[in-house]
Every structure is written in structure tokens, then in C-alpha cells.
Structure 1
Amino acid sequence: MSEIPSESALVQEKPSDLQTTELPPSTPMSEDEESRSPRNWSPWKKRLLFLSLMTSSILCDGAMTWGSTLIVEQAIQWNISVDKSATSMNYGILLQGMGGLIAIPLIEAYGRLPLWLWPQVITTFMVLGATLSKDFDTFTAFRSLQGVFGTVPQVVGLPIIHDMYDPHDWPYRINIWASTFLIGPFAGPAIAGYIGAGSGWVVSFGILTLFYGLSTILILIFGYETYFVKGQESQRNSRLQSFFGIKTHNLPALSTIGYWTKILVVYIFKFPMLLTGIATMVNFCWPIGITVTVSTFVAQPPYLLDTIESSSLRWAPIIGGLSGYAFGHWFNGWIYRSRQKAWYPEYRLLGAYFAIGTMACGLLTYGLTLHYQKHWIGLAFGWLMVVAGMIASTVSITAYALEKYPDQSTVVSAIINGWRTASGFSVGYFQPSWIARNGVAAVFGTQTAVVVTVLILAITPVIIIEGKRAKSKLAASSQ
């Protein structure tokens, strides 16, 4: 599940130590260059490419959580516990973040199209391998590799939007593209469960393979290299050259990879990125834990929900995610208007207080409903609040990070994505045994305390320390 980009600028910083043939900014583009610029492509060419990007992006999280409603059937077939069956997604979720970080230098070195197409092709075969698996270990291995390669559209989308659209179009296009991250993680399991209930988990994963195949075909037909710099020859490439990243950039590939790897490491450990990254890790840990384990709980007494009912329960987090995104979008607009005279980015983090408060209430509602074995509506409402808080806090954190570092939008997005998945993969392993040892009430009460503590220890220092620095700069500039 990926972070939600904000409306901040998406201009990529160029390595100062690398030689390019880019013309000076004042040099006007020739008529030929104007025609080759992706921003001047025909509206339909851009729409069809954007549609292809949307299909691959919604599959990132939607396909990774696809099997969460099918774990009971798989456990029976492979003669393993339901708790163990639920762990088949965990490594894939972890490797999504790592795959995104690895992709950044390669995208800058070889272009958008090859790093968009070939991981999608590989992921198609990984899903096919999972579909044909005959045992749990093989299935888990293919699902883990799916996570490595299948996450790339979540990273390559921002550069493509930057390349293809004018700045005033970025917010609108980013909002549409980001909707895939809201819907995918919960719509995927719901669709998988509906298919699996009537046809079995193998057919369900076969349909997922078909979805990946169709998405790959769309990229082959409508995908084009969007990287473009005046004076370079990348847009003169044939389709075949573009698919393989030949002459995409006139920069030394190894130097480019080394530069962007260094940039990633530097930004991971910047004070604001480190603390907000830790907060993101915690905020995503417990919601992802619910997502990958809820089918285990509702399949047991007193709920005994079948696959269709368990799949339909996913509509609660979908509504929660959309609600959280709507709040985050409204809050960012409101706080900017109300503080416009003395604005600095740390104001955006104030939205995390309400968001994490909502998440804390949701965790308590969900945990107490399980503890006292109350109606499943309590689970749905608690899950809704948890996801609403998770998305709203992520909107605030991501908006802050992208505004704080507007020249490194893709880098900071990938870093936040890495923190998110680093926590989500592990919770499926320790939460069931934790509940068995200490009880549901203690577990979810502790989780509530953790998210509130991290709000105080991670978000608040960034607001105070970075806010003071920003105020000092504002005061100095006004003198």
C-alpha cells in the first residue's frame, strides 16, 4: 500500500557532476523538439498512456493483497494453519518497499519505459508461478518476487506525470493516479474473494494473471518513453530502442546510478525524513496487520463469515481510505489558506494529530469488538476508522515531505513507501502469537498507545524544531 502524493512540484534535480548535452534554459526549442516533447503529444496519446499507468498502478497493492481472502481455502489444501497461510504475503509486502528504492536509480539511468514495462512482464510470470504452485513454500516464493518487481508503477508514475503534463495539470493527474493506492489494497482482496468463492483460489489467481497480462499488453501498445531534455536524442529512439532503454539518457549509466543511490541514502537519514518515516512505519504497521489477518479472525467463532462475507467486509476500509484522503485534501487546503501570510511546510503535519486520534479510536473499537466478541459491524467500523486515520496521516506526512524537498519528489515518495512496507511485512508473523499470549484487548490497547507515543516523539519534534528553523528563515528574509 503506497503513500498518497501531494500537489507539490515534481521537478527532478540533475546530477551536477554528470555531463549532459542539455541546451541552456534560454535556448528555445526547435519545431522538431516541440513535436517530440511529451507535453505536446496529442491528448489521446497521453490519455491512453495514463490509462495504462493506472492499470499497472492499481495492481501494485491490489495484487499483493489479492490472496488475503483466500487463506482459509489455501490452508486446507496445503494442510497448514490459517495463521501460517496468512503469512504468504508478508515478504512480498516488505520487498515492495525495497523494490521501489532500487528502481529509482535505474529509472534515472535507463528511462521510464523499460523500468515500467519489464518489471510488469516479470511480475506477470511471478503471478502465474504462484497460480501453478503446488505447495505453500513455492507459492510464498513467487509472491515475494511479485512484491519486488510489481511495485515499480508506484515509483515510475510521478516522473511520467511530471514529464507528460504541464505543472498546472500535476495536482489533478496525481489525485487520479493516487486513487489506485486507496482502492487497490482493499478492492483486490474483495474481487479475489468473490471469484474464489465460486471457482477456487487457483482460478482467482488465474484471473489475476490475466489482469497482469492485459496491463502488460496496454503498456506495449500505448507506452512511450516520456523522458525528454532539450538537445538530447532520447525522443528520436525507435519503439524497440525505448523498450530496452537504449540512448534514453545521454548520461553515463553507472555514474547516474551511483549518484541517485547516494541521494537516496542521504535523504533517508535527513532529520525530518527519518522521524516522519518512523511515524509512517508505525502508522502503517497496525492497519496492514488488520488487512492481512482479518480473514483469520472472521473465519472463526462467533463470526464464521464465509469467503463472500469476508470479501465484502473490505468495503469498510475502502470507505475509510476515501474518507481519510478527503480529510487530508481538505485540511491541506484549509491550513494553507489560514496560514498563508507566514507559511512553512511543518503546518501540514498538524493534520496528523486528528488523523492519529482517529486511528487510535479505531484500534480500540476493533480490539474491543474482538475481545468481547460483539457484532461484526464493530469490526467494520473500527477498521474504517483505522484506515481513515492511516490515509489522512500519510497525506499530511507525504504533503510535508514533498513540499519540504520539492526537487526530490520521487526519492522521498520511494523512501516513505519503504518505511511503510518495512513494518507491514512483519506484523502478520507476530500478531497472532501476541494475541494468543496476551489477549486481544491487551494487544490492541498496546497498539493504540504506540501510535499515540510515536505521534508525540516523532511528529511533534519535527513540527517544533523544523518549524523554528522555518520561522527564523522567514524572519531573516523579511528584514
Structure 2
Amino acid sequence: MAADEKAVSSLELQMPTEKEDARNGYLLDAQQLGSDVGSLKTAADGHTILIPQPSEDPNDPLNWSSWKKHLVLLSISVVAFLPDFGTAMGSVTQIPQAKTWHMPVATIQESVAINTMLSGISGLFVVALSNYFGRAPVLFWMRLIVIATVIWYAAAKSYNSFLGARILVGFFVGVGQSGGLMWIKDMFFFHELPRKINIWSVFIISSPYLGPFMASFVIWRLSWHWVYWIYAILNYAVFIIIVLFVDETFFDRNLAIEKQPAWKSRLLRLTGFERHCRYSFIEALSRPLIAVSKIPVIIITIFYFLNFAWTIGVNATIATWLNKYYHFDGESTGLFYFAPITGCILGAISGHWLHDFIGSLYMKRHYGKIDPEARLYIIYGASALTGTAVLLLGQALQHKWHYMAVAVLDAAQLIGVNIISTAVNAYLLDAYPEAPGEVDAWIVVGRTMGGFMATYIDLPWVEKQGAGKVLGIQAAITWSSVALVIFLQTFGKKLRRWQGPMEFPSAG
């Protein structure tokens, strides 16, 4: 039993499964059960029911010490930080690269779009392989491939060589973003999930801004090649973190303690020589396909596609507009990125409290229960903020408002997007607790496909029609997409009951 848990009674009580909780609502408040609480384990407050109930096995990740859980969480978060960090550096390096290779900036930008797309598609393979080989081995070996090839970026002598590096690294670098929910779900209880998702999510959302921030200063003092040498060094440093701290989190709760595989060595688990997963290869590959057959998963993927696309579009082109309209050099562009980074931080801080606050209000009105759809309420305000920021940002660029207005609006957009990101991840994780990796992979597909599309179309679109009109259309799309959230809050629970939980082939 974890150190912060305690039994609240010795009476017998049959706990519902997580699938039943997702269907009927999660009961978190033990006080709602009166005296009939059974031998339920609760959090340190004595009344928050632990979902799922941890086993008595000390190897159960739910029973790990807090420091070990958070070391693994931070390790996965840092890994998740690197893909978009490396991709977004291209929004700054594409200008000097175009001069080096005597090519249009729009052509160089294609490498950014392709890298973004591949990092999303690869997530489906990451999750499938993680269910066969284990979470940790897939992370270890894919990151090993990345560090073996990432120096290709910096050493590239031509655009075609650089594009080849983008393609190869893009496919393997997505591990950590795709499947991150698997790790979080394995280690933390239901009531802890929004805050842990928020931590992991802020690393992902802030990475496309910290990448150009760093790249701008490096180009100002050195050259674009050094941007990618530094990126290679960061990848090697993160690989060392993986080796030092990451452990396998897969734990089959359907097996009795006496039937659980023996835990021998962390390094053997990390490299896959000690394997705990029990799915066949075909069974593991089928899971992402079964997940996308669920209507709420499809709707959230589309919703996130329509929201996140314009965030990536703005980020991929902002350095070009700052240079064109405001004559920013590398130093000025780098300093500008303090604005979106601040927006990410404010979004994470506010989300840390807001998600739990809204959940608590919902439970008070529903007798200690919370439905997955309750996670979506926060999206209304966040989408209003995001859409308004995009609309005004277009006007700011179109009419060349002061660059500080551009900075504030860029930050405001990121506050909303950060809150939305945690909400959609928490919703699908609550709705389908049996498939954390699979729903995460499809959310990443929505985000990266949106980024792929926006990176391709934004620069020529704005040049043709102007920032005011283009970003106004994007704001309208952001607001209109809220109709999908209204649909889910109205019919989501009925849809989930009608389609049922995700039924995967049994592990053997």
C-alpha cells in the first residue's frame, strides 16, 4: 500500500471496474457511501477513493514512492518536449537556410511540415509496440535511434540531406508525446490525473516556443548549424536521464499477485530483456484501430485538429512576419518568444487549479460523482480566449500594431490552448481508461496533422489574402469547433453507453 493511503473500513464492498465507472460516473467521495465503504483505500484526506484500487504488490506502479513516480513523469515530459522543440527551430533557421541553399523560405518550411506529420503518425506505432514490448523498451530503443541520427541535422550540406534527416528523426522522435498518457495512467490515481496531465502537457505546448527562442540567439551569435548541434546535445542529455531514472510502468491488474512476473532488474526492463507485457503482436497492433472506432475519440481528434492547427501555423510563420513587418533581427526575435513562453506558463498555472476546481463543483452537484464529460466545461472559456486572441493577432499583423500587442495576443492564445489540451486528454482518459495510450495517440494525430496542414498553408495564404482575413477565418473555425464539445456534452455519455467500452483481444 502506498504511503499516502489508508483503509477506511473493514467491511466488504464490491468496487465497480473502471469501465463501469466511465459508464456510470466515477464515485470519488467515500462519504457518499455512508457506513458501507468496505475496505476501500483512500487518499491521505481519508475520503477520496483511490481509483483504481492499488494491489498489495510493491511492484505495482501505483504503490511506487512519490519521488519515483515524479522522476519518471518528469523524464517522460522532457522526452515529450524534444519533438516540437526540434521541429519549431526550423521556423527560425529556415531564413538563413534559404540564403545558404539559395531556395525560397516556403520550400525550406516543407521540412518542418513533414517532420511534424511524421512525429504524429509514428505515435500509433509507438503505442502498438509499447503494448507488445513494454513502455520502457520502446522509449529506450526509439530514443537510441534518434541520438544516433540527430547529428545528421547539423552536418547536412544540402537541403535534400537535411530533409532526409527531418524524415528519419521525425518518425522516431515522437515517442514520449504519443503514449504519454499510458505512463501517467499507470502511475497515478484518477483524482491526480488532471494535474499530472497538465505537467506533461505544458512541456509539449511550450516546446515549439522554447525551440525558436534558443535558435534565435544561436543564429544571432553563431550559425544555423549550431542550432542543431545544440539540439543533438540535448537529445544525448535526455537519453542519459532515461537510462538513470525510467522504469517499466506496465502492470497487469487482472493477474493475481502470485502470478505476476518477477521483477529482476530495472535496466533489463528498460532494454526489453525482461518483458512484462502479454499481448500478441497482432493484438497490440489492433488496439489503435479499435480505439478510433469510438465516436468520441473521432470527435475529439477533429476538435483538436481544428484548434491546435492555428497555434502551430502562427508559430511556424511568426519569425518571418517579425522580420518582414518589424525588421526584427535574431536577438529581437529571440526576446519576442518570451511572450508565448509566458502564455504557456500562465496556462499551466491556471490549469493546475481550474481543472480540479471545476471537477469539485461538478461532484458537489452530483453526489460525489464525476462524469468524463465534466472535463469539457473548461473548454468554453478557453476557446473563447483562443479565438479572440487569433482574431486580434491577425488585425495586429495586418495593420502593423505595436509588436507588444502581437506579443500579448500570442501569449493569450497559448493560455487557452494549454487549458484545452489538458481538458481533451483528461476527457478521453476518463471516458476510456482501458486505452490511455491509444486515445493519446489519436489526440497527437489531430494535433500534428493540424500543424502539418497549417505549416504548409499559412505562409502563402497570409501573403495572398493578408493576416487580418486569414486569422479571422481561423478564429471563426476555432469558435465553430466548440459545437463538437456541445455535442459531446449532450450526447457523449449516451454514445459511450451505446458503443460500449473498448474491447480488446485478451492478453494471453
Q: How does the TM-score come out when normalised to structure 1?
A: 0.83
Matches within 5 A, 1:414-433: 414-433=441-460
Select the residue among 301, 304, 326 that pairs with 2:327. 304
In structure 1, what is the equivalent of residue 431 of structure 2?
A: 404
Answering whether residue 406 of structure 2 is matched by residue 382 of structure 1, we say no
Give deviations 1:103-123, integer Å, cap 9, x for gaps. Answer: 111111111221111111111
Number of residue pairs matched?
442
Check whether the contact 1:82–1:296 (CA below 8 A) recurs between aligned residues.
Answer: no
- Report which stretch shifted further, 227-236 or 382-391: 227-236
Paired residues for 1:235-274 under 5 Å: 235-236=263-264, 239=267, 241-249=268-276, 251=278, 253-254=280-281, 258-274=282-298
Structure 2 unaligned regions, length at least 5: 1-16, 21-51, 499-508
- Which of 388-397 and 174-183 deviates more? 174-183
1:143 aligns to 2:166 (yes or no): yes
* Paired position in structure 1 for 2:235: 212
Other-structure match for 1:464: 490
Residue 88 of structure 1 aligns to a residue in which SS?
helix
2-side partners of 1:399 and 1:292: how far apart? 27
> For the structure 1 residues 112 and 467, does the alpha-carbon distance in structure 2 shift closer, same or farther, using more than 3 Å as the test?
closer
In the alignment, the residues of structure 1 paired with residue 310 and residue 454 of structure 2 have an alpha-carbon distance, to the nearest angstrom, of 7
Q: Distance in 2 between matches of 1:26 and 1:93?
A: 38
**How do 1:277-288 residues align onto structure 2 when only pairs under 5 Å count?**
277-288=301-312
Q: Structure 1 residues 349, 157: closer, same or farther in 2, change over 3 A?
A: closer
Task: State the Cα distance separating 1:311 from its structure 2 match.
Answer: 1.8
Measure the CA separation in 2 of the matches of 1:352 and 1:436.
31
Output the amino acid matched with 1:275. Answer: I
Per-residue CA deviations over 1:72-99 (Å, capped at 9, x if unaligned) read: 1111111112232233211111111111
Which runs of structure 2 are paired with 1:304-453 in the superposition (5 Å)?
A: 304-340=327-363, 341-342=365-366, 343-453=370-480
Unaligned runs of 5+ in 1: 1-9, 14-24, 473-479
Report the CA distance between 1:220 and its aligned residue. 2.6
TM alignment of 1:78-157, pairs within 5 A = 78-157=101-180
Secondary structure of 1:368 counterpart: helix
1:155 is paired with a residue whose SS is: coil
Distance 1:268 1:304, change over 3 A: same
Instruction: State which drifts further: 217-226 or 158-167.
Output: 158-167
Between stretches 311-320 and 50-59, larger displacement belongs to: 50-59
Distance in 2 of aligned mates of 1:325 and 1:242: 32
* 1:50 Cα deviation from its structure 2 partner: 4.8
> Structure 1 residue 293: deviation in Å?
1.0
Task: Answer yes or no: is the 8 Å Cα contact 2:269–2:275 preserved in 1.
Answer: yes
Deviations 1:16-35 (A, max 9, x none): xxxxxxxxx99986xxx64x
Q: Match for residue 91 of structure 2? A: 68
The percentage of aligned residue pairs carrying the same residue is 27
Residues 117, 73 of structure 1: alpha-carbon distance in 2 compared, 3 angstrom cutoff: same
CA distance in 1, matches of 2:355, 2:65: 33
Per-residue CA distance 1:429-477 (angstroms, 9 max, x = gap): 2222222322222211211222222222x222222222667999xxxxx
Relative to 1, partners in 2 of residues 1:408 and 1:11: Cα closer, same or farther, differing over 3 Å?
A: farther
**Contact 2:79–2:176 (8 Å) recurs in 1:** yes
TM-score normalised by L of structure 2: 0.79
- Is contact 2:87-2:116 (8 Å) kept? yes
User: CA distance change for structure 1 residues 68 and 391 in 2, over 3 Å: closer, same or farther?
Assistant: same
- In the aligned structure 2, how far is the partner of 1:391 from the partner of 1:278? 17
Query: Whose relative contact order is higher, 1 or 2, with alpha carbons under 8 Å and at least 6 apart?
Result: 1
What does residue 233 of structure 1 align with? 261
Residue 280 (structure 1) shift: 0.4
Does the CA contact (< 8 Å) of 1:155 and 1:410 recur in 2?
yes
Contact 1:346–1:466 (Cα < 8 Å) also in 2: yes
User: In structure 2, how many angstroms separate the alpha carbons of the residues matched to 1:107 and 1:189?
Assistant: 31
Q: 2:91·2:319 contact (CA, 8 Å) conserved in 1?
A: yes
Q: Superposition RMSD on alpha carbons, in Å?
A: 3.1
Question: Aligned residue for 2:300?
Answer: 276
Q: Greater shift after overlay, 174-183 or 61-70?
A: 174-183
1-side partners of 2:61 and 2:152: how far apart? 36
More helix by percentage: 1
In the alignment, the residues of structure 2 paired with residue 123 and residue 438 of structure 1 have an alpha-carbon distance, to the nearest angstrom, of: 39
CA distance in 2, matches of 1:51, 1:463: 32
Q: Which residue pairs with 2:47 in the alignment?
A: none
